[in-house]
């Protein structure tokens, strides 16, 4: 056993020290050429993500040469060709089916799921990028260490005192930042053009609660790397239309705020058919620009939502990159404040003031551009039109979560939440029902956590507890009838199972498990 542990540490150290020097493979759409295009367009797999996650058994150039010859045969069978030349990833602890015990309490079910959802992958395999430490995946079709999912997974791991796993996952992100300069959506080559909501500072703060404030100093270089990624391009703003470059936007008053973006303007490889179909039905729009907005929507984690649409019911009107998102900028405020706190520990007064000033200015800008006095709620801001988007969503509670709302604003937000968002089963994500998964009638675990914590920050304990109990009840309703925890829930009616979006409802499910475990643990005797 000791030998196995030592061997394990050596393998992790090898990836940590040298893995960032290895060149990442190309994204499957770039590496596989016609094979990729034909497999996706002919829908060999119902879910486009299935193929881009497979591992080629030969070098991609050899595969392309063989494919060009093979498909000239009138009897050529593309499905057989793929089955012969590609295989699925097999990683540690990945089991074919999780057998749920219907008599098992939900807390025990979650504890057993953590092992089932644990993965270990120390070498690149197809599109899957090696990571030095073990990690927990969301589940279902999501078999990678996803960025913002991981924070909510960590909340549940903390309940189980799985601090080694939490720290290993944070170290994986430090590794990815050394290798790529940012945290991608997940450790897949086809995600290397975009990130996700920046929760890294929250992960570091979570670990600091266990190990002490020195953790902030330990991860300060990576907090700064994350910050530089989101703020890149300041020198180029003056030459850009609408004074926006990559993820950075200069507002009309000179303040800097951020947007979601993507570095590519092609269809997402894992959603090729969905994106090309959207573009095909939007003949009046430039396809490349449309793909950028779809990709930016994917970086937001809210893929997709009426938040990003000009017409709330029509994805063809998506314009994500034109929008200053309230949630993103609150998270970056928290990042700036965390960096300032790390410098405080190091007793660096100039740097403390520098980053605290950045945080204060961002908070003021959020209040200036994203507070809708008439609605009594925080909203996203369309910097192309110089006006709020008018879409009310649970993203508007992030200023309470990061404590930048005034007491008056928090009171108004609490009223709107109770009056408009709160349903029998919890909170709807937006007030629009349009078949998108990040809209009504769906409720999501991470947003319930944000709202509950945000309300508590301003003393609205009764409302927070009401929301908590309704959300737990919805989770339990599905667990008792289906013996599983799922990605999203219908909080308005029916059996509680969520719907909508580009793929079937997934079970597993990482952040649902994490948030439910964290909320239920609050009621356990200490």
Q: Which residue has the tokens 């990624």?
A: 229
The question of whether 144 is a catalytic residue gets the answer: no
Q: What is the rounded CA–CA span in Å between residue 251 and residue 334?
A: 20
CB atoms within 10 A of CB 225: 20
Mapped onto helix, strand or coil, the DSSP state of residue 230 is: helix
Q: How far is CA 155 from the centre of its chain?
A: 15
Q: Which of 264, 260, 397 is nearest to 324 (CA)?
A: 260
Query: Of 144, 250, 274, 303, which residue is the catalytic one?
Result: 303
Mapped onto helix, strand or coil, the DSSP state of residue 367 is: helix
Asked if 249 and 240 touch (Cβ cutoff 8 Å), the reply is no
**What are residue 440's phi and psi, to 5 degrees?**
-65, 150
Q: Would you put residue 212 in left (φ > 0), alpha (ψ -120 to 50) or beta?
A: left
Asked if 451 and 320 touch (Cβ cutoff 8 Å), the reply is no
Query: Of 149, 487, 502, 507, which residue is the catalytic one?
Result: 487
427: β partners: 422
Output helix, strand, coil percentages for the chain, rounded to the nearest 5: 55, 10, 35
The question of whether 38 is a catalytic residue gets the answer: no
Alpha-helical regions (H) of 96-241? 106-116, 147-159, 163-180, 200-211, 214-218, 220-231
Q: What is the rounded CA–CA span in Å between residue 507 and residue 139?
A: 6
Q: Which residue has the tokens 């189980």?
A: 160
What residues have CB less than 8 Å from 266, skipping those under 6 apart? 29, 288, 291
Mapped onto helix, strand or coil, the DSSP state of residue 422 is: strand
The structure tokens listed for 46 are 């119902």
* Cα-based distances in Å from 383 to 232, 235, 389, 440, 512: 18, 19, 9, 26, 34
Terminal Cα distance for the chain, rounded: 34
Pairing of strands 86-87, 377-378: unpaired
Asked if 192 and 137 touch (Cβ cutoff 8 Å), the reply is no
CB atoms within 10 A of CB 32: 24
Q: What is the rounded CA–CA span in Å between residue 442 and residue 303?
A: 13
Q: What is the rounded CA–CA span in Å between residue 305 and residue 431?
A: 11
The structure tokens listed for 292 are 């950028």
Asked if 177 and 225 touch (Cβ cutoff 8 Å), the reply is yes
Active-site amino acid positions: 303, 487
């Amino acid at each position: 056993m000791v030998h196995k542990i030592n061997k394990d540490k050596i393998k992790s150290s090898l990836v940590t020290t040298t893995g960032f020097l290895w060149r990442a493979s190309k994204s499957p759409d770039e590496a596989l050429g016609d094979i990729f295009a034909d497999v996706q367009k002919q829908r060999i797999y119902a879910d486009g993500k299935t193929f881009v996650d497979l591992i080629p058994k030969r070098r991609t150039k050899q595969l392309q040469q063989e494919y060009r010859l093979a498909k000239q045969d009138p009897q050529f069978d593309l499905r057989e060709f793929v089955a012969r030349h590609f295989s699925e990833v097999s990683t540690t602890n990945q089991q074919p089916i999780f057998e749920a015990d219907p008599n098992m309490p939900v807390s025990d079910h979650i504890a057993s799921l953590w092992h089932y959802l644990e993965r270990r992958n120390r070498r690149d395999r197809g599109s899957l990028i090696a990571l030095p430490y073990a990690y927990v995946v969301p589940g279902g079709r999501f078999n990678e260490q996803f960025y913002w999912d991981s924070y909510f997974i960590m909340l549940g791991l903390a309940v189980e005192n799985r601090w080694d796993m939490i720290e290993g996952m944070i170290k994986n992100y430090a590794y990815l930042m050394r290798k790529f300069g940012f945290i991608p959506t997940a450790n897949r080559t086809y995600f290397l053009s975009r990130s996700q909501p920046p929760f890294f500072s929250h992960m570091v703060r979570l670990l600091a609660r266990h190990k002490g404030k020195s953790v902030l100093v330990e991860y300060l270089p990576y907090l700064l790397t994350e910050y530089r990624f989101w703020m890149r391009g300041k020198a180029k703003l003056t030459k850009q239309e609408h004074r926006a470059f990559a993820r950075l936007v200069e507002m009309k008053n000179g303040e800097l705020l951020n947007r979601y973006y993507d570095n590519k303007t092609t269809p997402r490889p894992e959603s090729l058919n969905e994106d090309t179909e959207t573009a095909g039905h939007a003949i009046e729009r430039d396809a490349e620009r449309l793909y950028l907005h779809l990709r930016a929507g994917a970086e937001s984690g809210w893929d997709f939502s009426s938040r990003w649409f000009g017409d709330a019911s029509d994805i063809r009107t998506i314009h994500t990159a034109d929008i200053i998102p309230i949630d993103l900028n609150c998270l970056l405020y928290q990042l700036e404040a965390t960096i300032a706190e790390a410098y405080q520990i190091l007793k660096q007064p100039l740097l403390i003031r520098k980053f605290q000033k950045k945080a204060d200015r961002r908070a003021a800008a959020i209040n200036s551009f994203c507070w809708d006095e008439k609605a009594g709620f925080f909203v996203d801001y369309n910097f192309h039109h110089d006006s709020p988007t008018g879409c009310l969503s649970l993203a508007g509670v992030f200023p309470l979560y990061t404590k930048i709302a005034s007491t008056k604003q928090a009171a108004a937000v609490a009223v709107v939440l109770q009056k408009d968002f709160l349903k029998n089963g919890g909170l709807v994500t937006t007030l629009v029902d349009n078949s998108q998964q990040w809209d009504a009638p769906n409720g999501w675990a991470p947003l319930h956590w944000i709202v509950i914590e945000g309300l508590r920050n301003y003393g609205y304990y009764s409302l927070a507890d009401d929301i908590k109990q309704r959300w737990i009840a919805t989770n339990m309703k599905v667990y008792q009838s289906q013996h599983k925890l799922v990605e999203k829930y219908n909080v308005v009616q029916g059996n509680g199972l969520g719907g909508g979006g580009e793929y079937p409802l997934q079970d597993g499910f990482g952040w649902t498990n994490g948030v439910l475990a964290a909320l239920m643990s609050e009621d356990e005797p200490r």
